[in-house]
Structure 1
């Protein structure tokens, strides 16, 4: 197919015919959608929970091929989480900012990963009321918590608000997970990571998640989860279209090779971000690289891989389906070579 571009916009889609294309590309698609973005462009949501902070993070990811993000505020004081919520409300409807992901602080300490143990606390009315206020303003919200530790009544209020309640950083058993699913748990946060290992007699939250019809995110950098385990997870789901890729990106994506988190300076080393305790501290990857990994390392067909970085995340959050309409700006597209390098033709 040929795409005709005039004045920086898509003017026509048509068969190539006998034309000679000006640019040889492997894939043209809408920009991707990432539901777990802690930072980018040298900025972390937690360190700069302001409208300008969220805009800077969105701009950094847009330059890497992700057109819409859920800025993700991780475990912190209620004041920081509330500031991030106010920033999300202030930027609601702006390009690239699709809502808010609150990851913690209502987690299992044993599975906290890089989250600050001193700031982890039970699900409380403050958080629930904040989420209800965001949802009353029609802001898409995902909240990650340990379902086995959540007060049932407060959990029910989160579900009733229309927020996507996601299980993560958790010690939940399979039975506890199935109970939470029955009560409205709708998603799982970064499969495998911050979850107990699945064994033959203790499937845990991971086994229950894989067998469920709920959506689940997964980090596709080959560091958080090996390629073999990603293949196993995708084959284990009841059907296609349930699992999506997230970056779990930190400030280093589109930014410098280090950032500060909870007073620690964390550097990129061999593609990984590791804190002083030896735990993974988020990821240094974007969704274009995740797409390449899904095709080249996991072995997915291109159409299934694109769904995981584009269509499925939109369905999870009730966002408009991605499209390539006539008249859209070239800057709204991902134009990739056959080896998934992003081309800039603006």
Structure 2
């Protein structure tokens, strides 16, 4: 059914338009035209005049939300439940993230994400496998006993998964430590359609740059689970700064990375190469104060999620809050902060031809934000959810 959205300003992903309407048809954006040129006779939703209609947020790293943890419940229903919770805060597309775990559970998570992807209005875009090919020296909260190096059988399964997800319009994103994976494996995975990012790594600067040359195209939560920068050991952090072709995802919660470091990253990277992620965990969207990961209790304390010994275990943030923090903590212009949450992650996944902008032909994944940057409504595939 054709529908017209009117009344709010429109941020297309490139410009803010005043006095325009958005026409939706069959789950996609049909046109964005001046109000006086709007087609007549369509069902019309009049939006608040002080609101801004923006491309829906895309979060490529979501471990859990709404009391659900994908590692604990690697099912399609769990992935869709996480997406439904995050939709209330503007995220219309996400990658449920499965961290280093048992091979059988990992396989179940991959099949679950594939099944969830087949629900076009569910908001699941594929899967992010954060591990198991990570560094034992930089595991973070990942369970060291499940860390492993790739062998032929698992590489074959991953290439098959990447191809299958790509054919279905989704993506496999993998976070790996470049020092744990040979360039030949990197090239095989990327040729199959996987998007590879360096993370949980102790790689030298030289090895990280070699991996970028082989096909790694991102750095997962730059700064975190990586060695600090030393005078003669720049490491993966400086590789993330200096590899112009690679994007860097960051958690802008005021906890994981000092704002001064993030400001320098934004100055160093070319436009479009800094991507917001939440790294969200089950308490997000709830009032819960604890959750269980690998059988360990994780505590929610003043904006932090930590183990008993103080190790960070994901983040307690949603994408709308990350956008607000970009504006308030980092002095990022609102339009750029919105791109960091929508257009740039779409590009990171190679999905920018259908997501991340409000232009004709793109999927009608939208968010309506208020002046305080809280989310009032979302649309996934043209279906509205009012909050």
* Local SS of the residue matching 2:94: strand
Partner in structure 2 of residue 220 of structure 1? 252
Please give the per-residue CA displacement for 1:169-192, whole angstroms capped at 9, x wherever unaligned: 000111111111111111110010
Partner of 1:146: 177
Q: CA offsets per residue over residues 79-121 of structure 1, 9 Å max, x none? A: 1110011011112242300011000111111211110111111
Q: Is the 8 A contact 2:278 2:315 kept in 1?
A: yes
**Matched residue SS, 1:304:** helix
How much has 1:287 moved relative to structure 2? 0.8
CA distance in 2, matches of 1:327, 1:154: 35
Contact 2:183 2:211 in 1 (8 A): no
Question: What is the aligned partner in structure 2 of residue 31 from structure 1?
Answer: 56
Q: Cα deviations across residues 112-151 of structure 1 (Å, max 9, x unaligned)?
A: 1110111111123343222211122124111111101213
Q: Give the aligned CA root-mean-square deviation in angstroms.
A: 2.5
The alignment partner of 2:317 has SS state of coil
Match of 1:267 among 299, 302, 321: 299
- For 1:163, the equivalent position in structure 2 comes to 194
Counterpart check, 1:128 vs 2:155: yes
The DSSP-based 3-state class of the residue aligned with 1:335 is strand
Say if 1:328 and 1:209 are closer, same or farther in 2 by CA, change over 3 A: closer
For residue 334 of structure 1, what is the aligned residue in structure 2? 367
Partner of 1:293: 325
Given that 1:42 and 1:256 are in contact with CA atoms closer than 8 Å, whether structure 2 keeps it comes out as: no
Name structure 1 gaps, 5 residues minimum.
none
Normalising by structure 1, we get a TM-score of 0.91
Cα shift at 1:326: 8.4
Task: Go from structure 1 to structure 2 and tell me whether the alpha carbon gap of 1:171 and 1:55 turns closer, same or farther (over 3 Å shift).
Answer: same
Question: C-alpha separation between the residues in 2 aligned to 1:328 and 1:314?
Answer: 12
190-199 or 85-94: bigger deviation: 85-94
TM-score, normalization by structure 2: 0.81
Q: CA deviation at 1:15?
A: 5.7
1:193 paired residue among 224, 231, 234: 224
SS at 1:71's partner residue?
A: strand
Q: Deviations over 1:186-229 (max 9, x none)?
A: 11100100011112322111111111121111111010011111
Indicate the residue corresponding to 2:134 in structure 1: 107
Could you tell which deviates more after superposition, 70-79 or 255-264?
Answer: 255-264
> What displacement does 1:41 show?
1.1
Whether the aligned pair in 2 keeps the contact of 1:114 and 1:279 (CA below 8 Å) is: yes
* SS of residue paired to 2:346: helix
Q: Distance in 1 between matches of 2:163 and 2:49?
A: 47
| SS at structure 2 position matched to 1:200 | coil
Matched, 1:116 2:143: yes
Q: Bigger CA drift: 161-170 or 147-156?
A: 147-156
In structure 2, how many angstroms separate the alpha carbons of the residues matched to 1:192 and 1:109?
Answer: 17
What pairs with 1:76-91 in structure 2 (closer than 5 Å)? Answer: 76-91=101-116
SS in 1 for 2:314: strand
Q: Is 1:247 aligned to 2:272, yes or no?
A: no
**What does 1:202-221 align with in structure 2 at a 5 Å threshold?**
202-213=233-244, 214-221=246-253
Q: For the residues of structure 2 that align with 1:163 and 1:325, how far apart are their CA atoms? A: 26
What is the aligned counterpart of 1:323 among 334, 348, 357?
357
* SS of equivalent residue, structure 1 residue 281: coil
Residues 252 and 179 of structure 1, relative CA distance in 2, 3 Å threshold: same
SS of corresponding position for 2:313:
strand
The answer to whether the 8 A contact 2:229-2:235 is kept is: yes
**Alpha carbons of structure 1 residues 161 and 2: separation in structure 2 relative to 1, 3 Å:** same
Residues 63/22 of structure 1: CA separation in 2 closer, same or farther (3 Å cut): closer
Aligned length: 339
